[in-house]
């Protein structure tokens, strides 16, 4: 199982949000580049990056920082945040990113998702952010009124290479991920699923490793707040 330590970038700093709320954020002193170096030095091979400025602006605001991270550390990076057209995807692919995560734009416009999967085979990940069973969009500020199960049935054959399931109610709360709902999605998804949102302790990682159809897990706030030490997390890589 892959472990994805997370870097959320806002104003060129590492930040963490609670339930995706930009007004409830914690800034950390360390730069995204230095944080990536830390992960690399601990032996991590995968990295989850969200460009929060990009999510707000709808374009690739922090492309240069992400280029630097990919270029310096040879990490397999998945990146999301405000990617709303094929040009933005191309920029990230050119920068060496392994997977480009589509969220709101793919939910609002299924044809965009289909086109992206056709043009960039095996490079598109789908980020599904869910609150009480319904998909949320636009930085989690809007409920799409679409049930995740209904939406997934419609796009299941498009060729998405990875699905990232985030329970918004758990995100940044460190109350453990919603394993139950994630597993339900993994059962119907045609591609591997990543668990996201709410990781609180090393026990969550150990549990995730026992689950079927799960490709990996994203760990963010628990690292920054010291609830999970990078040394102990790195031991779970084997």
Active-site residue identified among 51, 53, 129, 167: 129
| 8 noted as active-site residue | yes
Judge contact between 107 and 151, C-beta under 8 A: yes
For residues 68 and 77, what is the distance between their CA atoms, to the nearest angstrom?
12
Tell me, what's the pLDDT at 23?
83
For residues 22 and 36, what is the distance between their CA atoms, to the nearest angstrom?
22
Tokens 């636009």, residue located = 138
Q: Which tens digits make up the pLDDT trace of 180-201?
A: 999 999 999 999 999 999 999 9
| 129 noted as active-site residue | yes
- Given CA atoms 140, 154, 89, 222 in this order, what sign does their dihedral have? positive
From 12-21, 112-121, 174-183, 191-200, the region with the lowest mean pLDDT: 12-21
Using only the alpha carbons of the chain, give its radius of gyration. Answer: 16
Provide the CATH topology of domain 2-235: TIM Barrel (3.20.20)
């Amino acid at each position: 199982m892959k472990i994805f330590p997370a870097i959320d970038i806002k104003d060129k700093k590492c930040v963490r949000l609670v339930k995706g709320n930009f007004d409830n954020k914690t800034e950390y002193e360390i730069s995204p580049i230095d944080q990536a170096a830390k992960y690399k030095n601990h032996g991590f091979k995968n990295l989850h990056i969200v460009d929060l400025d990009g999510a707000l602006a709808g374009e690739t605001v922090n492309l240069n920082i992400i280029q630097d991270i990919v270029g310096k550390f040879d990490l397999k990076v998945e990146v999301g945040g405000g990617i709303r057209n094929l040009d933005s995807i191309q920029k990230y692919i050119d920068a060496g990113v392994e997977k480009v995560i589509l969220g709101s734009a793919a939910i609002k416009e299924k044809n965009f998702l289909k086109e992206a999967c056709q043009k960039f085979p095996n490079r598109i990940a789908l980020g599904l952010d869910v609150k009480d069973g319904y998909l949320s969009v636009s930085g989690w500020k809007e409920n799409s009124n679409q049930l995740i199960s209904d939406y997934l049935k419609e796009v299941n054959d498009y060729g998405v290479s990875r699905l990232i399931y985030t329970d918004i109610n758990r995100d940044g709360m460190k109350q453990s991920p919603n394993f139950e709902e994630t597993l339900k999605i993994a059962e119907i998804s045609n591609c591997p699923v990543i668990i996201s949102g709410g990781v609180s302790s090393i026990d969550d990682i150990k549990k995730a490793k026992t689950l079927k159809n799960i490709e990996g897990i994203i760990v963010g706030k628990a690292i920054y707040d010291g609830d999970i030490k990078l040394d102990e997390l790195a031991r779970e890589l084997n």
